[in-house]
Amino acid sequence: MKPSELVREWVRRFNAADIDGLAALYAEDAVNHQVVTEPLHGREAIAAMFRTEFGRATMVCIVDNLFEDGEWAILEWRDPLGLRGCGFFHVREGRIVFQRGYFDQLSFFRQQGLPVPAHYLG
């Protein structure tokens, strides 16, 4: 599966809140680094993050642009509430081995009606 095809499948599973399906797209030793937090190491840690996030918020990913370059796919996305972001996916042998995501977490908290953690604001 080409990286862009894998990311389209990732979006489909994300929009279905299919945590197990999402986790299966990652290599066992994958790294997921959403730049607003520390990197997560391993499929189980990534699945735990998805469980937490889907447990507290309704999340939808709408593809604005999807680019591919070799083993990489770059996703520019938005959600129905107006949040925007982008993700970089490094794919090897049909699995995500590294993902980095950029978005405004403070806007995410506010749009979802979530409390902003005290440590977040310093």
Of the chain, the percentage scoring pLDDT greater than 70 comes to: 98
Cite the DSSP H helix spans in 26-121: 43-56, 105-112
Q: Is the pLDDT of residue 122 over 80?
A: no
The DSSP-derived string for 1-39 is --HHHHHHHHHHHHHTT-HHHHHHTEEEEEEEEETTSPP
pLDDT bin (cut points 50, 70, 90) of residue 33 is very high
DSSP-assigned letter for residue 42: S
Does an H or E element contain 76, and which? strand 72-78
Could you tell me the two tokens for 113?
A: 């009606």
Provide mean pLDDT across the span 18-36: 97
* Domains of the chain, start order: 3-116 (3.10.450.50)
Predicted TM-score (pTM) of the model is 0.92
